[in-house]
Amino acid sequence: MAKPRSRAADLAVYAAVRAAVCVLQAVPPAVAFWLADRLAGLVYRLAASRRRVALENLAAAYPELAADPAAAGRVVRAMYRHFVRAAVEGVLIPRKLHLTNWRAFVDLNPSPGAAGLMLDPRPVLLVTAHFGNWEVAGYALGVQGFRSHAVARVLDNPHLERFARRLRQASGQTIIAKKDDFDRLTAVLAAGGKVATLADQDAGPRGVFVPFFGRPASTHKAVALLALEFGAAVVVLGMPRVPRAGRPALPAPAGMEGTFFAVEVEDVIDPREYAGRPDAVAAITARYTAALERVIRRHPEQYFWLHRRWKHQPKAKPARAA
């Protein structure tokens, strides 16, 4: 039985978060990002146990880094810096990114077919990972007039949940609870809706095991099952932070020169190609996981290596008696 939550503690945490958000929104963006970089460095030094998890995952995914601890440490330090900056961007973007200036923040040129997929009458599953800045991706889609839904876990703190949901839905994106909202999810897909989901977390012992960075990773079957049931195209993409130099971008608002992302569609999977195959679920899952791996390999410092992605492993099969 879950321990009852403390209303006072929830309110205190919410008040602290709102105070921090007020400070970040009040100061110039350059100052906000300077604070973010200082905080990232502090967390990297103090969170020793989490740092070890990230280093172990990174070394297992990139064997060459196992022999070069200094290089692995630089990647993990850059990961902390990226994600703390991404959190700051999450509270600044609703005030900075608008219909008239979205090109100052997002480059669609690497994936010119992305807009067409969003206009297709078929349902679409937008599959990404804890990579780049997925929150900005959802916001930017809404600003451009695309109506999408995103599957997200409900935060335990109800005050923070309402605040985060308001930020996420500010541009027209609708949040679907990861748990207890399955009927709504299927209704959206049945109506030809576009649903985004993060598909890179451990699915436990009952997941389907597919290769991810050279190791079996337990992966949720829901993406493949929903794609097959509703005929939804599976669009595998990432939204990494990229240099704006040489790209057809509008000038960045002052202090936000580093907030620029590219939409990279790595694969588009048509579930009709797998109709009738007994291994359809495993094949689709393996294919989109491989596509996510390719995106991450191009920008390893922008992947959340803190997840226990390989926590569960396939059970060893007992040896046959002679």
- DSSP-assigned states of every residue in 174-210: EEEESSS-HHHHHHHHHTT-EEEEE--S---TTSEEE
Angle (deg, nearest 10), helices 158-168 and 7-26? 30
Query: Phi, psi (5° rounding) for residue 132?
Result: 60, -135
Each residue of 42-87: pLDDT tens digit? 999 999 999 999 999 999 999 988 889 899 999 999 999 999 999 9
Separation between Cα atoms, residue 114 and residue 116, nearest integer Å:
5
Token pair in block for residue 315: 């059970």
What is the DSSP-derived secondary structure letter of residue 131?
B
Whether residue 53 contacts residue 306, with contact meaning beta carbons closer than 8 Å, is answered with: yes
Separation between Cα atoms, residue 84 and residue 68, nearest integer Å:
25
Residue 113 clears pLDDT 80, i.e. is over it: no
Higher pLDDT, 73 or 112: 73
Residues 6+ apart with CB under 8 A from 68: none
Token pair in block for residue 95: 């005030």
Higher pLDDT, 192 or 249: 192
Q: 319 falls in which pLDDT band (50, 70, 90)?
A: low
Mean pLDDT throughout 155-174? 89
Least confident of 28-32, 149-153, 210-214: 149-153
Q: 315 falls in which pLDDT band (50, 70, 90)?
A: confident
Residue 320 clears pLDDT 70, i.e. is over it: no
- Which pLDDT score, from 0 to 100, does residue 228 have? 97
Q: What is the domain partition of the chain in residue ranges? A: 15-302
Angle (deg, nearest 10), helices 7-26 and 69-96? 80
Q: Is the pTM of this model over 0.75?
A: yes
Query: Phi, psi (5° rounding) for residue 85?
Result: -65, -40
Amino acid at 110: P
Mean pLDDT throughout 232-248? 92
In the chain, DSSP assigns E strands to 106-107, 124-128, 149-152, 174-177, 194-198, 208-212, 215-219, 233-238, 261-262, 264-269
Residue 310 Cα distances to 2, 52, 54, 298, angstroms:
26, 15, 12, 21
Query: In CATH, what is the architecture of 15-302?
Result: 3-Layer(aba) Sandwich (3.40)
- Which pLDDT score, from 0 to 100, does residue 318 have? 65
- Which pLDDT score, from 0 to 100, does residue 317 have? 67
